[in-house]
Amino acid sequence: MDSDTRVILCGGLALFTGILLGTGLGLLMAPQTGRRTRRQIKNYLYDTGDRMNDFADETKDRMSEFVDKGKRFVEDCI
């Protein structure tokens, strides 16, 4: 890995870390109760989990279609 690539990767990692830390500190210092903040985080995580499950299901369906098309293509070639 050359020096330029290493600098870009380190900068990206530093940016990502800063975003995470800033978000965490913002949540901790928000002017609302801790109970409400925890409920919002829980709801966000549940929603994100649901979206990830939907994405996984959609990806699985698309891959199945892709594999089926590939099988049909190979059968037609033989």
Quote the CA–CA distance of 18 and 23 in Å, as a whole number: 8
Domain count, the chain: 2
| Residue numbers of the domain that contains 6 | 1-31
pLDDT at 47: 93
Q: Provide the H-helix boundaries in 1-78.
A: 3-28, 34-77
41 close to 27: Cβ distance less than 8 angstroms: yes
28 close to 20: Cβ distance less than 8 angstroms: no
Same domain as 36, residue 7:
no
Same domain as 54, residue 41:
yes
pLDDT at 56: 95
Same domain as 3, residue 23:
yes
Same domain as 71, residue 43:
yes
Across the chain, which has 78 residues, the per-10-residue mean pLDDT values are 83 93 85 84 91 94 92 85
16 alpha carbon, distance to own chain's centre: 13
Same domain as 18, residue 3:
yes
